[in-house]
Structure formats: C-alpha cells, structure tokens
Structure 1
Amino acid sequence: MKKGTRQSPSYRPVNRYLNRDLSWIEFNRRVLEEAEDAATPLLERLQFLAITASNLDEFMGVRVAGLKDQRKAGMNKTDFTGYTPQGLIKRVMKRTERFIRDQYRTYRELMRLMAREGVFIASWEELSTAQREAMKQYFQDIVYPVLTPMAVDVSRPFPLVHSREVYLAVVLRPLAPNARHEERTYCAIVQVPSILPRTIPVPGRGNSRKMTFLMLEELIKEQIGLLFSGYATEAVHAFRITRNSDLTLNEEEAEDLLQELEKELRRRRRGFPVRLEIEKGMHPSALEMLKDELELDDGVFEIEGPLDLSFLSKFAGSLTNFDHLRYPKVEPAYPVEFEEGEDIMGVIRERDVLVYHPYESFEAVHDFLIEAAADPEVLAIKMTLYRVDAHSVLVQALVKAAESGKQVTVVVEIKARFDEERNIAWARQLEKAGCHVVYGLAGLKTHAKVTLVVRREAGALRRYVHVGTGNYNESTAKLYTDAGLFTCHPDIGADASALFNEMTGYSTPHDWRAFAVAPDALKPKLFDLIDREIRFAREGRDARIIAKMNSLSNQQMIDKLYEASQAGVCIELIVRGVCCLRPGVPGLSENIRVVSIVDRFLEHSRILAVSAGGEDEVYISSADWMTRNLTRRVEVMCPVYDSGLRAMLVNLLRMNLLDNVKARELTPGGGYARVEGGGQTPLRSQFELADIPLWKTVASAAED
C-alpha cells in the first residue's frame, strides 16, 4: 500500500472517530482549494468558488439546522464522536467564519485576475456618466416594475423573507418631519429579484473591448430613493437568511404522500432561520431589527463582498469567447460495445456491458430505454427515479412506452432533497400517461438506481437490467463520475423483479441471489465480505479491500474496518467527502489509507473490490457507507460477474489511488495533505481516464 504523509507514529487521538460535520467543512475546504489553485483555469476557479457557496447553503439549512433543533430540544448527550449539539455548533460556527473569510479573500483575488482578462464587476463609482445613464434606464425599464418595497412598522409586520434570497435592508428618515412623521428612522425591506440576472452587462466605453458588469443589488441601491418618495435614504445594506430546509413527514399517517409533501414544502418556506448573512458595515438599526425579528442569537456572518457567491456559476458560464480560461472540452464517447451491434439488447444478450460516465455517453442509457419503449416484444418496463433532469429524455421514453400499451412502473422518490417539486411534477406527468407511479416505502427513501426491461423471446421472458451508481439525470451524468452496468444475467434479473415487487406491493424481504439491498441486507453483506477478508488475513492469505464512495460515517462500519485493519487486512478507501474514520493510528487503523479526489468532475461512483483470497470480487452500488444509506433507504449493491469488467473497475480504483496531482490523503488528526509525487511522473486520474482505451483494453485482456 502506497504511504502518504502521516502524523507521528506516536499520535494517539482522544476519540477514535472524526466528527461528520467538521469533516464536511474539511471537504468544502478541499473544493475551495481548487478555486485557490493557480493551475486551475480561471473560469473553473470561479465555478469551484460558486460550488463552495452552494454547498455551505445546504450544510447550514440541513446539518446546522438539525443541530439547532437538538439544542432547542435541550439535548446535551454527546454523539459517538464526542460532541454535544451545543459544543458542535460553536465549533462549526467558528470554522465557518474562518472559511467565509477565505472564500472572500479568494473572490477578491479572482476578480483581480478577471480584470486582467478584461472582465470587470464594477462599482457604481467606477462607471462613466454614459454608463450610469444606461444603467438608470435599465432600472426604469426592467428592474423598477418588479420591485416591491416592504415597510416594517406597527401596521405592517415583518414580511416573510425567503430562504437564500438576497434582500436590501433600507433605513429611512422623513424629509419633512411632522407630528405624523417625527424625527426618527424607519426600516423597510426590498427583495433583489432572483428572476433577473444578478450581473448586468454595462455598455462599453467607446471601442474598448473590456466587459463590464454591475451587480443588480448595486443598481437597486443607487436608485432606491425612487421607491421611497418623501424619505431620505440613510443606509442600504444587503442581507440574506438561510432557513431550516429539512422536511419532516409523518408518512405512516399520511393519507396521500404527494399532498402531504406539498404541504410540507409550503411549511419549509417558513422554516426557522439558521443563518443571517449581512453586508459589512450594516446600519445598527437595521441589524437590530433583523436579529430581533429572526430571533437569531448566533449564526450571524458579516460579509465583505457580494452575498451568495453561487451567482458566479452563471456568471462564468455566460462569458463567451473565453474557452482558454476553461478546461478543454471532454466529449463523451458512445460505448464501443453498443456501436458494434445492431441493437442494444442484442449486445447485452451476448455480454455484460459497463459504461463509465462522463467519459462514456449517457446516451447509451437513453437508447436502451428508447429501444425498449419502441420494441413490440417488450412487455414491461420498471424504473427508479431519484433526481431527474429538467428535460428528461428518459421520462419521455417512459411516457411513450405507457401510451403504446406497455406496463410501465416508476418508483419516483418525491422526497429527494431540493428536487421535491420537480419530482412531483414528473410523477403527475407519468401518471397522466398511464404509468403506474409509486412513491416507495413509508419511512424510506428509494435511492437505488435500477431499470428493468421484460422482453418476450422465443416463447419465454428475458429480463434486461441496468444498475447504476448515479442518478438517471442527463445533466449530472456530464459532470459526475458514475458507473452503469447493463446485463441480462438471470440472477440479477430475478433480483430486480423482486426489488420492484417489494417497492410496489407487500412482498416480504427476498432471499437475494445477487443483490444486497438496504435497509435489511446491505450492511450484513458488507460485514460478511469484510469478515471473510479478516479470516483470509489471519490464515496468511491475500486480504485486501478497496472501496470508493462519497461518504463514510456509520460507526459500525468504521469499527468493522478497524477490526479488519488490526487483523492485517490492507484497506484503501477513496472517500470524496465526509469521512469519520481515522486512518493510520497505530494499533487501530495503521493498515488503512484514505484519499479524497476533488477535481474537474464530481467523484460520485460507489465501487467495492475485495480480494476474495486471490481473485477480485467487485460490486457497484448506489449506497454510501452512512447510517442513512444503510438503515433508512432502499439501496442496491450489485456484483459484477464478468471478469473483464471486474478488471476494468479495479483498474479505475487503482488509478484513483495512484493520483498524485489532485488526491489528498486523510491524516489521523482529521486534516488532509496533498499526496506528494516523490519524483514520480504526475498522474491525474480524471485526465488519465479520459483516454478510454487505456482502461477499456484491460477488460479485453482479462477476457482473453
């Protein structure tokens, strides 16, 4: 096992585990490092910075909101990592403050570099007279009609302030005080309309090639007096709140889950505030009003720069003729296996096919379903949908299949966080087309990614299955690394049928032939595989585990890995995000190495390889090793039976482990250190994988 930078062998942690929330902050910092890295193309740096802002929004609205719920309920019990809710909130807020300072330091540096490229986000004072006049006209024509000033006084209570929207707090003073308007200040709120572009192109100066933009809130600030005639503007400052975004559904008692979720989504708009972001130097009257009305005693962050840096994603994407500031385009290749055959199902009858996105095109999944929808011999199509693209080709194929008389069953997970409304819309469209739509099992999210096609062939039925590690989403398939297996193996087909029967009917847990399915069978299967490696190690045989996932936080899984390490099993983990396991601790985890890769694409695939005493067993899965995935979700882990495909996946894992450009190694103390090349040739795994023959030929060699 390749060794990375570790702390002193004498290091002994107070706690055997790292905290999940603090580990998440470390992950977001690794994303920020990509924005800070001068080797990253400039517009990509802006994208990474935008991602850190979006990530932090979700973290505050879900994880920190949950901690505040616990504190409010008076919980003071420590979790398995040694923190009480109150103690953890303090630590999280302190690290978040530090993180935000680093975010905005990076923002200022990136804006300085953008200016060198001739792109400016200017202040009002930096505009010429002609540019200001153009912006005033834009305000009158486009902005002013959609603004709504909201006064805050005795007769007009504090309005509903939406989560994650930018607002302006306006402090006013009457121009002519009288008995009705005494000499005092008044407060009002104006929402910066999110339906308008956040950055406004400003006409250039003469023949200048410079591109100048003005922030929408800056324009509104300069013209705010037009909204409050008879008052002088004493101060205008931006603010933004983040509300509790988690949903609490009583699924057991809900008569209609769809209607209950819609009610909960409406309640979420009024979730209690968790975080208040304010522009630096906010007027004391405005700040006092906000803190009183929002009842926030902590979680107030003063920001030196524009609020909500996620706007940088659209801003960077809108800039044309700047391809030299972006990564080179990667055109996904259509899987060569399907190009060789006349039809996809004909190819699958001959052999299993594994595709790896985004290097290979998601169109293969489209074509599989489109072909099934048009095939008169296909009798039924069953599919799970968790997060679906806004313009889903797959949904349209399901609609056509249902309209042509095929039996179409779709398990739509309407509780997928922040995609609830879109999934409700898809569910209704599918139902209208005649699909049988179900919303999974009460109390469980359906996170498995499985498609089953039942086809009549020579008087019998054959099942074709696609199992994936990622969502059936065309957009994210271009940005996330994920594996997908096409097969008609009879055991996998039988298990796919049983899985859908469990989700749509009242079937009892199945005696799985190939699948391991959470919440009942996945964790026991993983434990069995690890126990077998422990036995091999004790017998002096080859014992090795390589696992790739997004997060590792389940205490029992971590303890089992510690046990395996102590038995001598070599364990290599590729964990992109949260990891609560401490690697490299003598007597506990010295045989465990953990690396995280943050690069151009989001590492999203879940793959497990175990030595099986000499010949690798390989599985792909929808599940991370987190408590929610193992105990509160419907998840699937599927074996890869084809020896060539197993070799290909092991090669992918090894390439990740050899990465010495974008890999960071987790230290026992919870920090991450960049993997040093040590004079070796730089290997950037995501760029190596773009050379598809490099790892596809491994499969052919293994089969030969």
Structure 2
Amino acid sequence: MQPLDHKSHFINRELSWLAFNERVASEAINTANPLFERLKFMAICASNLDEFFMVRVAGLKDQLKLGMDRRDDKTQMSAGQQLLEISKRVHTDVERLYGTWSRTLLPALRREGIHFLTSKQLNSQQQAYLESYYHEHIFPVLTPLAIDASHPFPMLANRTLNVAVLLQPLESHSEVDPPLFAVVQVPSVLPRYIEISGAHHKRAFVLLETVIQLFIHALFPGHAVVEQACFRITRNADINVDEEGAEDLLEEIEKELKKRNRGAAVRLEVEQSMSPELVETLRDWLELEHEDVYSILGPLDLTFLMRFAAEPEYAHLRFPPISPQIPRDFIGESNLFDTIAKKDILLFHPYESFDPVVHFVNLAANDPQVLAIKQTLYRVSGNSPIVLALARAAENGKQVTVLVELKARFDEENNIVWAKKLEEAGCHVIYGLVGLKTHSKITLVVRREGDNIVRYVHLSTGNYNDNTAKLYTDIGMFTARADFGEDASLFFNHLTGFADPPAWNQFATAPLGLKQKFLDLIDREIEHCNAGRPGRIIAKMNALTDKDLILALYRASNAGVEIDLLVRGICCLRPGLANVSENIRVSSIVGRFLEHSRIYYFYNGGNEELFLASADWMTRNMVSRVEILFPVLQENLKERLQHVLNLQLADNVNRWLLLPSGRYQKVAQGTGDTPCASQMRFYAEARGAADKTARAVAESMIPRTPPRL
C-alpha cells in the first residue's frame, strides 16, 4: 500500500486553479444564465487568466531564470513541467473560450438585435461615419512608434492592446528591402467599443482596434501597409519588497508599483491573422518560448465585456436585481449597541445588508461615549464609507488605530491612498507585521457605559468593502462577549506593539497556533471514530492547498470520519481514493455570487462546534498571514450555520463534484428532483425572515383597545 504522502494522491495547485476557471467559463455557456450575465462570466474568466499569468506563471518562470526549478511539494512536478502543462491546458481553454464567444454568444447577441461588426461587415455609410469619428476622436490620441536601429522595441505596458504594423515605403526603396516595423498602442483612455447606426433599429458596435486598423494608413503617409494585427503582452506583476531593509514600507511599495507595468513578459496574445514571421519577431523581442504565444480568433482582452454588460436598457438580459435585506435581529431595534449587548448577531451577505457594519463604524465615530476604534483593512472600496467614518472618528477626538494592509495584491495603490488620508485625519495607521500580510477582518469599538468599559466586536470572513459585499457571500458576527472583547484588544496590541503572541480566550490566530488548532480539531474527530463514535467534518473555504492539513484529512478518512469539503477554487486534495480519501467528498459552487465565506464544522461526539475564519486551508494562510479563527457559541447561530452548510451540500443547480481524476462534474438533477440553487434559497430565506420579523414588530406596535372597567 502506498503511503498517504504520495504524489499521486494530490492535485497540482496550478492545474486545480485552471479547473476552477473552467467552471467559471462554463457559466458563460449555461443558457440558464441571462445573456449579459454570461458575458460577465466571460470577462471574469479572462481577467482571472490575466492575474494567473501575472502572478503564478510569472513566479514559475522566475524560478527557471534563477536556476531553481523547485518541485511542487505535493505532486513533485518541477517548475518547467508545470509551465508545460499549464500551456497545454490554457491553449485548450482559450480555444474553448473563444469558441463560446463566436459560436454561442455572438449569435445570441444578434438575436437580441445587438451586433459586433468586423471591418468587412461595415456598409459605406457606417465606414464614412467611422472615418469621421477616427479623425476627430481617435487620430489625435494615437502615437505610432517606429522600430529600427535607432528606435528599439518599446516597453509596452502590461495588458495594453497594440497593433503591429509592417510598412513598405512607396518610393526610394527597393522591393526586396525588408518591411519597416511600427507599433500603435490602442489608447486605454478611449472607449473600447463604439456604437454606430444599425439597420432596422438594431444596435451595432465596432471595437476601437477595428477602427484604428481600418484607417491606420493615415498614421504613415508615404508608406503602404503590408500587414497589421493586434497583440497584447502580459507581464510579471508580482511585487517583491525587502521588508526587513525597508525604512518606509509605504514608500517602497509605491516604488515597486511603478515597476509593475514593466515586468518581464510572460504571455503574448496575437490575432490569428498575424503572419508566422511577425509572431516570431515579437516572440524573439519579448524573449518568450513558443508555448507562451496564444493565437486568438476573436477580440483580444475580453474583459471589456464586463463594461458592455452594464449597458442600459437590457434589464431582461441580466439577473433580476436583489435587494439585501435588513438582518432579522436588527429589525425594530433603535440602538445598535444595545442590540449587540443582548445577543450575538450574524450577518449573511449579500442576502443581508452590509449597512449595519457601516452604521456600526459611523455610530462609533459620532458617539461621545466611544473612546477608541480599532480596525483592520485589507481590501476596501474606491469611495469607502468605512474609511470616511474612521477619519471622522479621529477628527472627533477618538483614539483610532487602523491596520491598512499595503500588500493586498492589486489593491496596493488604493490602500496607499486610503492610508495617507487616514493619517492626515489623525488616525494611527500601521502597515502590518514584517514578512506577513494581515488578512484578518476585525473591528473593535471601546465604549464607556456608566462606570464600565464595554468592548463591541465585529468579526468577518470577508473584507470591509461595501461593493464586494453585494457580490461575495460572506458571514460576519457582532458580539459584546467579554472574552471576545479581551481577545480583540490583545490582538491589536500584538499587532501594534512588541508583545509576544497572547494566550487567547476564544481566538486562534495565524501564523502561530491556527494550523495546530485545525490539526487538533481533525485529530479529535479521529479519536471519536477510534472510540466507536461517529466522526464528521464539514469545511467550507475558498481553497485547500496545505499538505499537512490534507494528510490529516486523509488520516481522518481512513479512521472512518465522514468529510464534506466545500471548496470554491483550488483543491489539491484528491477525493475518493481507496484507502486514502474514500470518505471525503469535495464540492464547488460557482454561481451568481462569489462564494467567499469560511465555515468549519466538527461533530465532536455530538457536542458540535462551529467556527468562522478569515483563513482558507492554504499554507500561505497558516504561515505567512495574520488570520483569525473564532467560534460561534450562540445556539441559534450555530444552527443557522449548519443550515448554510447543509443547503449548499444539497445544491443541484450550481454545485460541482471533484472526481478522483482531478476533473469536476456538474451535479445532475435526478428525475423528479426539485431544483435547489442554494444562493437563491438563501436570498428567499432572508426576505422571508425580514418580512416575518417586520410584521411581528409592526403588530407589536399596534395600540390595543384598553379593557373596559
């Protein structure tokens, strides 16, 4: 029998991520989704691939350049092997993605009277309009870049769209001379698509690069255009900062951000019409391998579809809007602090409103009894009401401490702006611990009530971002429990001072203690099974990569523990293997909302325990991030979380099952089965609970006829 720690028992992290993106792409094919929502899934899939190349592929390429070629600790694949497998898989995925665009989505758009026209489909009237539009709006912005001995290949910014042009002088050059080469960047400051008049009241659109190519000769008088085709470069965009040697972390990250658009090329996308000779020229200049080139039949960079899907007048082509409900425990309550003092309160976003969280910080900012506010910020919205409230709190004389994580990938610039504004307002801003990302989501409000000091705490699985709270499923909890308040104070003191990690009352934190806590909880289920009692684990997270936790789950499976994992994205565990993981099932839900909450359930011999966390079961969460795991102790809230887990495991609309092969299979509805889309069920339940509670509150306020004497 093979040992549990064998390479065949794991799935490579990068290939598992690609499997996740394939599930996203499948939603663009799914005709149960409205047409414009399918366009959004296309855009998300394309954006995901961009980030994958900028970070994951770039990291593997860096290993090869440094001669490291490290092997994946689970599957033992080298960096070179992973890059080859990634290239094979992504070439197939991209071909399938553009097949969906051309064979499925474009015809569906045409049926709705929406046409994306190529240059060959334009009539004379449309061409005349576009020529005028080009000279008035586009031509003044364009800058042709000649490339020759005195003009080396330019540093084209990451993810910009460009047109490669081959030119032949009309005079004074021999026909045997090689053509001249130039690049024209498609301006990102202009709209990506242009509406033109269509026939029979239909709407017609032309992409910006199509118009530029149609009249590109105007940029090169005295030359004939021999060939032109679009291309796009993806570059290494990861940030590497020597935090130990950095005197000012904010300043160092600002410097690194300026380099992001100039990183080494990791992918070249070209129009399929581009000649092999021109492709080779670009590939050679960019120092890329053949497998790094992606020839595309369709428009490069489909992320523009996200904006197009927001076009007005097409409500019937989108999901019906949902209105986040007032959380049931807040209906009829007039004082938020009094409500939290009475009981713990759970918030389930986006089905329940994020407004109480914003109100919590706003109320604390204005309340004269509040002495201090402390909060961690990882990703916040562009015009964050929470940040504005924190600034106002400092201006009102409160002690405000904010940990702004500057290293939140691709949100660094946004977070730098907010950090500076908070400092200007008088907040004490810290940037986390050296070598660690602070990924915890916690707010502490310290309030004087009579002769007592009361601490109010909000903890969450998701960010303090009012925008993503409408799109991501996350769970937050308010509490005024004294032991939670003490842990919250200890947590912030540990972040801001030099104190050793404290002995927690209820929290478990990373990087010290959290991983061992999970291992102990898994081992406890094994002990129950070994003693003849049932063992049960349900864990919901975004990703599962940590080898030690996977091996612990394998041991638990072999001991008879029944394990269900709800893992939205990457999963390196291979379920259903005899004598390894036959008692483990892995599900993934991909639907209208991004599954983001982390819930951990352990049967514990009937004394069930439930936890919420900011952390996934990834090695980075355990060893290189500051995370919080906290228990849910109130019985009605524990029951509610169990219901969330059970309903998701019953989902037969948006749930996928991970097969032992590493592939995913959509859960099929049986004959006569009632469709169960868990996300929409949760919204219906939130509406029903809010309506029921509101009616009860309204009835309690109706004056009763006094009894006759």
Report the TM-score, using the length of structure 2 for normalisation. Answer: 0.94
- What displacement does 1:286 show? 3.0
Among all aligned residue pairs of Structure 1 and Structure 2, give the percentage whose two residues are the same amino acid: 50
Tell me whether 1:645 sits opposite 2:637 in the alignment.
yes
Tell me whether 1:254 sits opposite 2:249 in the alignment.
no
Please list the CA deviations of residues 267-320 of structure 1 after superposition, one character each: whole Å capped at 9, or x if unmatched: 2222111000011121344323311211112311101100011111111112x2
Q: Report SS of the residue matched to 2:612.
A: strand
Which of 286, 304, 307 pairs up with 1:311?
304
Q: Check whether the contact 1:449–1:622 (CA below 8 A) recurs between aligned residues.
A: yes
For 2:42 and 2:105, the matched residues in 1 are separated by 10
Which of 285, 301, 306 pairs up with 2:294?
301
For 2:139 and 2:331, the matched residues in 1 are separated by 55
- What displacement does 1:127 show? 2.0
C-alpha spacing 1:488/1:695, structure 2 compared with 1 (3 Å): farther
The equivalent residue for 2:547 is 555
Which of 41, 44, 47 pairs up with 1:51?
44
Counterpart residue type for residue 165 of structure 2: V
For 1:151 and 1:275, the matched residues in 2 are separated by 23
The equivalent residue for 1:78 is 71
Please list the CA deviations of residues 589-641 of structure 1 after superposition, one character each: whole Å capped at 9, or x if unmatched: 11111100000000010011111211321111111111111110001111111
- What displacement does 1:14 show? 6.3
C-alpha spacing 1:13/1:116, structure 2 compared with 1 (3 Å): farther
Structure 1, unpaired ranges of 5+: 1-11
For 2:285 and 2:680, the matched residues in 1 are separated by 51
Tell me whether 1:129 sits opposite 2:124 in the alignment.
yes
The correspondence of residues 542-581 of structure 1 with structure 2, limited to 5 A, is: 542-581=534-573
Q: Check whether the contact 1:648–1:696 (CA below 8 A) recurs between aligned residues.
A: no
The equivalent residue for 1:39 is 32
Q: Report SS of the residue matched to 2:201.
A: coil
Tell me whether 1:107 sits opposite 2:104 in the alignment.
no
The equivalent residue for 1:120 is 115
The equivalent residue for 1:220 is 212
The equivalent residue for 2:164 is 169
Tell me whether 1:152 sits opposite 2:147 in the alignment.
yes
- What displacement does 1:82 show? 2.2
The equivalent residue for 2:8 is 15
For 1:229 and 1:149, the matched residues in 2 are separated by 12
The equivalent residue for 2:191 is 197
Q: Check whether the contact 2:351–2:686 (CA below 8 A) recurs between aligned residues.
A: no
Q: Check whether the contact 1:651–1:695 (CA below 8 A) recurs between aligned residues.
A: no
Please list the CA deviations of residues 460-499 of structure 1 after superposition, one character each: whole Å capped at 9, or x if unmatched: 2111111011111111111110001011111111111111
Q: Check whether the contact 2:508–2:514 (CA below 8 A) recurs between aligned residues.
A: yes
Please list the CA deviations of residues 25-45 of structure 1 after superposition, one character each: whole Å capped at 9, or x if unmatched: 110111111111122111111
Counterpart residue type for residue 55 of structure 1: N
For 2:532 and 2:687, the matched residues in 1 are separated by 33
For 1:93 and 1:183, the matched residues in 2 are separated by 36
The equivalent residue for 2:492 is 500
The equivalent residue for 1:682 is 675
Q: Check whether the contact 2:46–2:303 (CA below 8 A) recurs between aligned residues.
A: yes
Counterpart residue type for residue 65 of structure 1: A
Range that drifts further, 664-673 or 321-330:
321-330
The equivalent residue for 1:661 is 653
Q: Check whether the contact 2:522–2:552 (CA below 8 A) recurs between aligned residues.
A: yes
- What displacement does 1:521 show? 1.3
The equivalent residue for 1:636 is 628
Counterpart residue type for residue 525 of structure 1: K
- What displacement does 1:525 show? 0.8
Q: Report SS of the residue matched to 1:661.
A: coil
Q: Check whether the contact 1:36–1:45 (CA below 8 A) recurs between aligned residues.
A: yes
Q: Report SS of the residue matched to 2:458.
A: strand
Please list the CA deviations of residues 197-218 of structure 1 after superposition, one character each: whole Å capped at 9, or x if unmatched: 111111234xx32010000000
Please list the CA deviations of residues 385-429 of structure 1 after superposition, one character each: whole Å capped at 9, or x if unmatched: 111100111011011101111011110011111111111001001
The equivalent residue for 2:696 is none
The correspondence of residues 423-572 of structure 1 with structure 2, limited to 5 A, is: 423-572=415-564
Please list the CA deviations of residues 123-169 of structure 1 after superposition, one character each: whole Å capped at 9, or x if unmatched: 12222222222212221221111111111111111111111111111
Counterpart residue type for residue 144 of structure 2: P
For 1:284 and 1:593, the matched residues in 2 are separated by 47
Counterpart residue type for residue 306 of structure 1: P
The correspondence of residues 233-252 of structure 1 with structure 2, limited to 5 A, is: 233-252=225-244
State the number of aligned residues: 684
Counterpart residue type for residue 501 of structure 2: P
Q: Check whether the contact 2:506–2:631 (CA below 8 A) recurs between aligned residues.
A: yes
Tell me whether 1:30 sits opposite 2:32 in the alignment.
no
Range that drifts further, 155-164 or 250-259:
155-164
Q: Report SS of the residue matched to 1:340.
A: coil
- What displacement does 1:543 show? 1.6
- What displacement does 1:542 show? 2.9
The equivalent residue for 2:91 is 97
The equivalent residue for 2:330 is 338
Counterpart residue type for residue 193 of structure 1: P
- What displacement does 1:540 show? 1.7
Q: Check whether the contact 2:325–2:687 (CA below 8 A) recurs between aligned residues.
A: no
The equivalent residue for 2:609 is 617
For 1:446 and 1:144, the matched residues in 2 are separated by 47
- What displacement does 1:655 show? 0.4
The equivalent residue for 1:5 is none
Q: Check whether the contact 2:166–2:180 (CA below 8 A) recurs between aligned residues.
A: yes
Structure 2, unpaired ranges of 5+: 694-709
For 1:121 and 1:195, the matched residues in 2 are separated by 21
Please list the CA deviations of residues 506-545 of structure 1 after superposition, one character each: whole Å capped at 9, or x if unmatched: 1110101111110001111111111111111111223211
For 2:669 and 2:513, the matched residues in 1 are separated by 41
For 2:445 and 2:353, the matched residues in 1 are separated by 20
- What displacement does 1:339 show? 2.5
Counterpart residue type for residue 140 of structure 1: H
- What displacement does 1:104 show? 0.2
Counterpart residue type for residue 616 of structure 1: E
Please list the CA deviations of residues 17-63 of structure 1 after superposition, one character each: whole Å capped at 9, or x if unmatched: 11100001110111111111122111111111111100000111111
Q: Check whether the contact 1:13–1:668 (CA below 8 A) recurs between aligned residues.
A: no
Tell me whether 1:61 sits opposite 2:23 in the alignment.
no
Report the TM-score, using the length of structure 1 for normalisation. Answer: 0.95
Q: Report SS of the residue matched to 1:589.
A: coil
Q: Report SS of the residue matched to 2:189.
A: coil
For 1:173 and 1:117, the matched residues in 2 are separated by 43
Q: Give the CA RMSD over aligned residues.
A: 1.7
Q: Report SS of the residue matched to 2:325.
A: coil
The equivalent residue for 2:409 is 417
For 2:674 and 2:82, the matched residues in 1 are separated by 42
Counterpart residue type for residue 100 of structure 1: V
For 2:358 and 2:309, the matched residues in 1 are separated by 29
- What displacement does 1:692 show? 2.4
